Amino acid sequence: MLKGKVALVTGSTSGIGLAIARTYAQDGAHVVINGFGDKDAIEKERSGIEKDFGVKAIYSGADMSKGAEIAAMIADAEKQLGSVDILVNNAGIQFVAPVEEFPVEKWDQIIAINLSAAFHAMRAAVPGMKARKWGRIISTASAHALVASPFKSAYVSAKHGIAGLTKTVALETAAHGITVNAICPGYVWTPLVEKQIPDTMAARGLTREQVIKDVLLAAQPTKEFVTVEEIAGLALYLTSDLARSITGAILAIDGGWTAA
């Protein structure tokens, strides 16, 4: 299905982004992976994608908090692989604290990485997609694009912002063969979730088990974490021709969380 297409997935050295990049590569797309982490582990991942799926995989270490680096990453991908047909805005970070104690630099960093990065990437990738009359833009938002939780002011604001950006760019590109959608997972077991457990324990005075059961999965009616494979499956479907009429959609994949 994706043979000959190029997919760029931000924040794909780990978790959801890595699963999406591998799923696209398995389907035949050349991929650009991006994100931080151990140099050798990233190279193993990149070369593993090439070996496992017979596609080209390049790595960009662009920092998603820096607009100029994002624009350069898109330009470099177009130069090296010929195009960016599928853009997945996935890089994200979290910080948990009451608003009056929320560090200003953490607010700025979360808005930059979780929201402004998607703007910079779309701004740079849309011209090529318009010229080729085909494009797929997917942002990993969150159930927090639809509802709030306490102590996550920056994250919830950024993810709600992604919903607005998605709808706006979907309208602007609808007549150009481009779809723009946001995927809104509930809790997915990844390093991002693991990292917020100690902060949530401190902010709410709870044990690790209480955080998992009473905070993380409290709102998820299935009482199970969403898997990265399920999210990658939806991200793959959105690139298909069958999904060409789905645009501007904010799609929940949250075990029923936002149905309540």
Q: Residues in the site for ligand NAD, rule: CB under 6 A?
A: 11-17, 34-37, 63-65, 90-93, 113-114, 140, 142, 185, 187-188, 190-193
Catalytic annotation present for 155: yes
Q: Residue 121 or 129: which CB sits closer to ligand NAD?
A: 121
Shortest Å, Cβ 3 to ligand NAD: 26
> Which of 201, 206, 257, 252 lies closest to 231 in space, CA to CA?
252
Nearer to ligand NAD, 6 or 20 (CB): 20
CB 12 → ligand NAD: shortest distance, Å?
Answer: 6
In angstroms, what is the minimal distance from the CB of 229 to ligand NAD?
12
CB of 137 to ligand NAD, least distance (A): 14
What residues does 6 pair with on adjacent strands?
30
Beta carbon of residue 71, minimum distance to ligand NAD (angstroms, whole number):
14
Residue 132 CA neighbour count, 13 Å, CB half: 17
Give the Cα separation of 109 and 150 in Å (integer).
19
Q: Count Cα neighbours of 56 within 13 Å in the Cβ-side half-sphere.
A: 13
Return the structure tokens found at 182: 């946001």
**For ligand NAD, the closer CB: 38 or 52:** 38
β-bridge mates for residue 30, sequence order: 6
Number of C-beta neighbours around residue 9 at 10 A = 32
Interatomic CA distance for residues 211 and 119, integer angstroms: 33
Q: Which is nearer to ligand NAD, 11 or 135 (CB)?
A: 11
In the set 24, 59, 155, 187, the catalytic residue is 155
Beta strands in the chain (DSSP E): 6-9, 30-34, 57-60, 86-89, 135-140, 178-185, 250-253
Cα–Cα distance, 116 to 192 (Å, whole number): 19
CB-wise, 91 or 129, nearer to ligand NAD?
91
| Catalytic annotation, residues | 155
